[in-house]
Amino acid sequence: MAPHTFEDTVSCRAPPLTYDQPMTVSVVDIELNPTTTGASLELRGILAVPEGVGPWPGVVMVHEVFGIDESMRAAARRLAEAGYIALMPDLFSMGGARRCLTRTFRDLSAGTGRAFADIEAARQQLAARPDCTGRIGVIGFCMGGGFALVTAAGHGFDASSVNYGRLPKDLETVIEGACPIVGSYGAKDKSLKGAAAKLDSVLMTAGIPHDVKEYPDAGHAFLNSAPAGNAVTRALMKRILGLGPEPEAAADAWARIDAFFGEHLR
């Protein structure tokens, strides 16, 4: 099937710490050709590449439960503007969110499955690019934050950014030997009450370089550039999760991610 390509050339609203002036980057829809066993046969995604010739570090991005929406595209653009090749595989490539969401969460709980193969396929594609330095991080949001945490150990990543990701029951085992982790949570997110403190404590005990912060005025998905889901979903999740953008907390969290990735990927 011929790839459907959409090019979006924009300038990021949130200025990166790495450059004096924001860069113009391109974000394109792509079709990956994974050789990873168990990966989606028709794996799609988005790719954001900085302006210039590189080489740059890479970042595999793992999307939230709503899939690759405009907020996820904005995050990819932002990472590219900060000087990273950002590749986000669509974990719902084989049927959309309606058919894939339950299976994807099942993979996350099991620590194995097609979703992990798709993430590995994206990592391999970045590593094979001549304009990539070979240093590759992973960043995830919501559901993707859980994947970013689980893949921090034993999956070839050099740094991980976990954003309001659910903690696995066997957290101590999962993070054994993990790469450096930066984590951001919102105190108004009732579904993840105490998650930031627990993650910080376990990482401290394990001796893993980390930066974990909980924002008192933020809820779930506070890094998003726009409200996620439809009107009914937003109203329900606002009450339960405090769902929605929180610009002040987001600006601080992005600054911490910039600094952390700059230290461990550059």
Q: What is the pLDDT of residues 123-178, one digit of tens each?
A: 999 999 999 999 999 999 999 999 999 999 999 999 999 999 999 999 999 999 99
Looking at domain 7-218+248-265, what is its CATH homologous superfamily? Alpha/Beta hydrolase fold, catalytic domain (3.40.50.1820)
Section 110-135 average pLDDT:
97
Q: What is the pLDDT of residue 8?
A: 36
If DSSP states are collapsed to H, E and C, what string results for the chain?
Answer: CCCCCCEEEEECCCCCCCCCCCCEEEEEEEECCCCCCCCCCCCEEEEEECCCCCCEEEEEEECECCECCHHHHHHHHHHHHCCCEEEEECCCCCCHHHHHHHHHHHHHHHCCCHHHHHHHHHHHHHHCCCCEEEEEEEEEECHHHHHHHHCCCCCCCCEEEEECCCCCCCHHHHCCCCCCEEEEEECCCHHHCCHHHHHHHHHHHHCCCEEEEEECCCCCCCCCCCCCCCHHHHHHHHHHHCCCCCHHHHHHHHHHHHHHHHHHHC
- 236 vs 81, more confident: 81
Section 191-201 average pLDDT:
97
Torsions phi, psi of 147, nearest 5? -65, -40
Cα separation, 242 vs 261, in Å, equals 27
